[in-house]
Amino acid sequence: MSNATLKSDQLFINLGPQHPSTHGVLRIGLTINGEVIVKAVPDIGYLHRGTEKLAEVRNYHHCVVLTDRWDYVSAMPNNLVFCLAAEKLMGVAATPRANALRVIMCEMNRVASHLLFFGTYGIDLGAYTPFLYAFREREMVLDLFEMLCGARLTYNYIRLGGVMVDASSEWLKRTMEFVEYFKPRLDEYDTLLTYNPIFMARTQGVGVVTAREAVDWALSGPNLRGSGVDHDVRRADPYCGYENYEFDVPLGKTGSCWDRYFCRVQEMRQSIRIIEQAIEKLPDGPFMASGVAKIPKPAPGEAYAHVEGSRGDLGIYLASDGGISPFRLHVHAPSFINLAMLQEKLVGMKVSDVIALLGSIDIVLGEVDR
Partner 1 sequence: MTNDEIFAKIQEKFPKIEKAAVQVKNYLTVRLASKDDLMAFAQCLKDSSFDMLETVTATDLLGPVDMKGYIRQQNFNPLLPEGATPQIEAAATPGYPYRPVMDLLWVFFSIKERARVFVRLEVPRENVSVPSLTPLFKSADWQERETFDLLGVRYEGHPNLVKILTPDFTQGHPLRKDYAHIKDRFDE
Contact flag: residue 322 with partner 1 (CB under 8 A): yes
**Residue 133 vs residues 72, 147, 190, 235: alpha-carbon distances, Å:** 21, 22, 12, 31
How far is the C-alpha of 76 from the C-alpha of 66, rounded, in Å?
A: 12
Which one among 23, 27, 69, 88 touches partner 1, defined by CB under 8 A?
88
Contact flag: residue 313 with partner 1 (CB under 8 A): yes
Contact flag: residue 319 with partner 1 (CB under 8 A): yes
At 222, which amino acid appears?
Answer: P
**Residue 333 vs residues 138, 309, 314, 316, 339: alpha-carbon distances, Å:** 24, 10, 6, 9, 10
Picking from 304, 305, 303, 363, the residue whose alpha carbon sits closest to that of residue 334 is: 363
How far is the C-alpha of 354 from the C-alpha of 37, rounded, in Å?
A: 9
Contact flag: residue 302 with partner 1 (CB under 8 A): yes
Nearer to partner 1 by Cβ, of 97 and 311: the residue is: 311
- The answer to whether residues 56 and 329 touch, using CB atoms and an 8 Å cutoff, is yes
Nearer to partner 1 by Cβ, of 143 and 344: the residue is: 344
Which one among 177, 188, 216, 248 touches partner 1, defined by CB under 8 A?
216
Nearer to partner 1 by Cβ, of 96 and 238: the residue is: 238
- The answer to whether residues 310 and 343 touch, using CB atoms and an 8 Å cutoff, is no
Contact flag: residue 238 with partner 1 (CB under 8 A): no
Contact flag: residue 339 with partner 1 (CB under 8 A): yes
Nearer to partner 1 by Cβ, of 42 and 122: the residue is: 42
Mask for 50-79, x = binds partner 1 (CB under 8 A): x-xx--xxxx--------------------
Contact flag: residue 288 with partner 1 (CB under 8 A): no
Contact flag: residue 369 with partner 1 (CB under 8 A): yes
Nearer to partner 1 by Cβ, of 190 and 344: the residue is: 344
Which one among 241, 304, 347, 351 touches partner 1, defined by CB under 8 A?
304
How far is the C-alpha of 111 from the C-alpha of 128, rounded, in Å?
A: 20
**Residue 188 vs residues 166, 184, 252, 281, 334: alpha-carbon distances, Å:** 33, 7, 21, 29, 29
How far is the C-alpha of 286 from the C-alpha of 267, rounded, in Å?
A: 30
Residues that bind partner 1 (CB under 8 A): 44-45, 48, 50, 52-53, 56-59, 88-89, 213, 215-218, 229-231, 236-237, 300-304, 313, 315, 317, 319, 321-325, 327-328, 330, 332, 336-337, 339-341, 344, 369-370
